[in-house]
Amino acid sequence: MPFSAVPEHIRSYLRAPYALAPEAIDFYRENAYIKLKQVLNAETVEAFNEIISREVHRLNTQDKPLEERDTYGKAFLQITNLWTHSDLVRELVFSPRLARIAADLMEVEGVRLYHDQALFKEAGGGYTPWHADQYYWPLTSDKSITAWIPLQEISLEMGALEYSAGSHRLEVGRDAPISDESESLIDRALAESNCPHVIEPFDLGEVGFHAGWLFHRAAPNTTSVPRGVMCIIYMDRDMRLKEPTNDHQRLDRDVWCPGVQTGAVIDSPLNPVLISRG
């Protein structure tokens, strides 16, 4: 039966702190990504799998067959800012538990929401090329982070996320949007670097966090089951808007940061502070 409200015990769980070891912060500082076990319990994952899957089905406007789409379109169905459409989804996106992890990993006093997005890689869906998310974002610093939240166990065959550890330090490929060209360009640059590739399955309740400038990709979904993932993108509470340097950043400024002036703190109604400690 569909949820009409998130149960109070799940809401309480999403407010409870996660025990993040100092070693985890050290690992993230060095590698710009980390996978954390048991961030969410099975009941919470299963509840939001139902909630988010329903919203993706309701809001999806993609009606082209996979074979008629470009590489980006084959990679996933992308539905953004679900929290503005569903109070149920908002409970996950505004979770202090997740926001506190993001703040701790970035070593900042607080975080704002940049936006959320569901990324559903359909059965038979294509690969996601190498890219760095922050190419798309008009942000003045590198204090941004994505929580990549699987809504089920994710095997390698389903298209688990692959990280290039430490690649946030590389300059090559930072001006490349997601495409076959970015895959080729960045793959060559990473092959010449000392950045290890890390690709592992995701357990139920495991969540990956990666920095905005970290290069990452995902393989095709070769199974008969859709791969459901919810992403929450956080930024430093004091993040300011920079002058966009490409059309994607201009679009992001207008869509995700409405009314914010260049150089100002990004404090629009779409960018609330989710946690602040000072």
- CATH no. for residue 156? 2.60.120.620
For residues 206 and 40, give the distance between their C-alpha atoms in angstroms, rounded to a whole number.
7
* pLDDT tens digits, one per residue of 197-235: 999 999 999 999 999 999 999 999 999 999 999 999 999
Nearest 5°: CA angle at 199, between 195 and 201? Answer: 155
**pLDDT of res. 170:** 95
Residue 41: per-residue pLDDT: 98
pTM: 0.96
pLDDT tens digit sequence for 26-70: 999 999 999 999 999 999 999 999 999 999 999 999 989 889 999
pLDDT above 60: residue 194: yes
Q: Which residue has the tokens 């993609």?
A: 62
In the predicted structure, residue 1 carries a pLDDT above the cut 60: no
- Written as six digits, the tokens of 24 are 């985890």
Share of the chain above pLDDT 90, in %: 94
- The DSSP letter of residue 52 is H
pLDDT at 3: 77
Please give the helix or strand (H or E) that residue 130 lies within, else none: strand 128-131
The boundaries of the domain holding residue 38 are 8-257
Q: How many domains in the chain?
A: 1
Mark out the alpha helices in the chain (DSSP H runs): 8-15, 22-31, 42-59, 71-75, 87-93, 96-106, 180-191, 247-256
